[in-house]
Chain A
Amino acid sequence: MEEPRIGVYICWCGTNIAKMVDVEAVASEVSSMPHVVLAKNYKYMCSDPGQELIIKDIKVHNLNRVIVAACSPRIHELTFRTACEKAGINPYLFEMANIREQDSWVHTDRSEATKKAIDLVIAAIRRVRFHEALEKRSVSVNPATLVIGGGIAGMTASLEIAASGKQVYLVEKADHLGGMVAQLDLTFPHLSSAQQIIHPLIQRVKNNPNIKVFLNTQIQQVHGYIGNFNTTILQNGNESVEIEFGNIIAAVGLKPFDPVVIPEYGYKKIPDVVTSVEFEQMLLSGLIQTSEGKDPRNVAIIHCVGSRNKKFHEYCSRVCCMTALKYVHQIRAALPDANIFEVYADMRAYGKGHEEFYAHTTHKQIIFLMFDQQTGLPRIRKAGAADKCNIIIEMDELLSGISIEVPVDMVVLMTNMEAHDDVKEVVRSIGVSLCGNQFFIEKHPKLDPVATTTGGVYIVGGCQGPKDIPDSVSQARAAAARILATIAQESVPVEVTTAQVNELLCCGCQTCVRVCPYSAVSYDESKKSSVVNEVLCKGCGTCGAACPAGAIKCKHFTDSQILAEIEGIMSLSYKY
């Protein structure tokens, strides 16, 4: 190993760090440590002059290791690694000490915070001595894309990618394309026809020579990694087709919640209590009629069915409030004299044009009745022979504070949208995860909402969380753009901090093969040793911790690096 020549930089972060940490004391305390060539403090290390300072010092003082003590490495590690690279040293010879988020911002005693900063910097100095140059690697990208789910999101993404002349494999579980939108009549807030939105899209998908559609098809286990995936597709349950692709979009949407489990609502027991999806069918047929074939004189629309209620689903399904208002317009047009009751818990009109749509709808002579999910749901019962209606809704009306009975002939339940039953198998087959509500987890909720933590796998539309058509389409186009950018690059960088087996130390126990979650380790009979496929390895380090022979090196998180860090991290606390 070449003699380490370390440059240490302590950042003030304006007053963010300097107010609580004596940055000069930190620099002077560590300046005389072995291998430390220089230790400086500067106002803003991440600024251009801050980075220039590092670059210049690397060149002038021949530094081969750099430490910046500043904010969290999750924020600026990449910035400083890039600066090192610019100055001609390998980016992995850099190390960061977190003295802002995990020191100056969380402590109130200046001398304690300063002591801690010194400890953290000493630990970094000890650790960085064991850093090794790691070479960036990249893999080629297969230009084909697999899209799972042929709803509006999946079809939009497919068309966008196919428009660039790239191959798309679109896999749909049902026997037709279109998803939920194909089952809708009009759409909020402009009351435009859902059929006129979805049918031209379906035609374009079917006619596009770059899109191969597989109907009645479920996805099997996908193998490979970003740029180079493959799987077998079982069409109509028997015919198997091998496909290869570089990226994946999951667009499996959501399904309506079954209100049978809510005893208060009597769904499937009381006639003329229907779900929103069933009501859409009625609207598409052009007739709103009770099961007896009569025009309903009173219609109630109940919101939040299975939503925003810890007994069922805690989250809001986002589209039902506006859909319920949409029904007001459709019922009013078909049955001008009917009484319409909006039975709601809260009115959520968050989107573009939604508040205006709500205000506009309130002028349609409708009655708003409010209930409280916590104190009790409305109770629906079949009316008696003497009643002049089919159904009676009992409820504690919140705005008036009184218990009332509402006579109606038809009830529409605005059902929650929940994950499909097979969603666990879908996520397992493509290597992504679900949140507590069974929605696909994005890489970053704000900064990267369509990517996942698995490279090359994107999530769009309802499956990422309930959303309306405009949001689903935006995500679909965003994911398509991301994928086309990757395809245009022709190659993608892969993890470099992977695991590596030392064949001389490996005893062949294959513990590592068993613990690796990505099947990245295999046993090589001829070498009598395990080997890591560094393209599949994501660098979790589990195999390194499990290997009984100490034969596995987890690059950048080696035993020596971590042990050295531990040795340094209590330098002052132990002393005093």
Chain B
Amino acid sequence: MEFRPTLVAFLCNWCSYTGADLAGTSRLHYAPNIRIIRIMCSGRIEPTFVLKAFQQGADGVLICGCHPGDCHYQEGNYKCLRRYKLIQKYTQQMGIEKERLRLEWISASEGKQFAELVNDMTKTLLQVGPSKVKGTLEVEHLKK
């Protein structure tokens, strides 16, 4: 069967989730393989969430927060950026290609950018192919 990449996205409530809603209100179309999870701020992202998504079968994980300076909680997105770089290191060590994990800033008015981002990442994942770590990763020990 043809490969259909699964994309899990963590979106902060104030900018990015609202931007994704705007894509809907504007009736922009994008690839249906994305599954969105709402968090209050990108600063809430922990490595466990990303790894869990890969373990559960995601071919790609997308994290979106407010643009630098616009975080509803002042600086959660900067904290996320720092953590993202660490998570990238972990995941690459585990053999997860770096293209599979992406952090992008999407504002509440960027519905179009969000739709384009989803399509773009889907295209990348089609090239990278199915993730090899589905079901094999051990996640639980990472907490602590």
**B72 and A453: CB pair below 8 A?**
yes
Return the contact of B6 from the options A105, A550, A570 (Cβ within 8 A): A570
Q: Does A343 contact B (CB under 8 A)?
A: no
Q: Does A327 contact B (CB under 8 A)?
A: no
**B49 and A72: CB pair below 8 A?**
no
Candidate in B41, B45, B70, B83 with the most chain A CB atoms within 10 angstroms = B41
Question: CB within 8 Å of A: which of B10-38?
Answer: 13-14, 17-18, 20-21, 23-25, 27-30, 32-33, 35-38
Shortest CB-to-CB span from B51 to chain A, Å, is: 10
Which of B73-81, B97-105, B120-128 interfaces with chain A? B73-81
Q: Does B8 contact A (CB under 8 A)?
A: yes
Candidate in A98, A515, A544, A569 with the most chain B CB atoms within 10 angstroms = A569
Q: Give the residues in chain A near B8, CB-CB below 8 Å.
A: 566, 569-570
Q: Does A545 contact B (CB under 8 A)?
A: yes
Q: Give the residues in chain B near A108, CB-CB below 8 Å.
A: 29
Question: CB within 8 Å of B: which of A539-576?
Answer: 539-542, 544-546, 548-550, 554, 557, 559, 562-563, 565-567, 569-570, 573-574, 576
For the complex, what is the distance from the CA of A497 to the CA of B32, rounded to whole Å? 31
Q: Does A4 contact B (CB under 8 A)?
A: no
Knowing A72-B21, A563-B48, A574-B57, say if A542 contacts B35 (CB, 8 Å).
Answer: no
Shortest CB-to-CB span from A475 to chain B, Å, is: 22
What 1/0 flags go to B38-73 for Cβ under 8 Å of A? 111101111011001100111000000000011011
Shortest CB-to-CB span from B54 to chain A, Å, is: 10
**B49 and A101: CB pair below 8 A?**
no
Interface size on B, residues (CB 8 A): 50
Q: Give the residues in chain A near B29, CB-CB below 8 Å.
A: 106-108
Q: Does A100 contact B (CB under 8 A)?
A: yes
Return the contact of A570 from the options B35, B45, B49 (Cβ within 8 A): B35
Question: CB within 8 Å of B: which of A118-136?
Answer: 119-120, 123
For the complex, what is the distance from the CA of A518 to the CA of B37, rounded to whole Å? 25
- 22 of the cross-chain contacts (CB-CB < 8 Å) are A101-B24, A102-B24, A106-B23, A123-B35, A433-B69, A433-B70, A453-B14, A538-B73, A540-B41, A540-B76, A541-B41, A541-B43, A542-B73, A545-B45, A550-B143, A550-B144, A557-B44, A563-B49, A565-B37, A570-B35, A570-B56, A570-B58
Nearest first, the 7 closest Cβ-Cβ pairs linking A and B are A101-B24, A541-B44, A542-B43, A540-B73, A105-B24, A574-B57, A112-B32
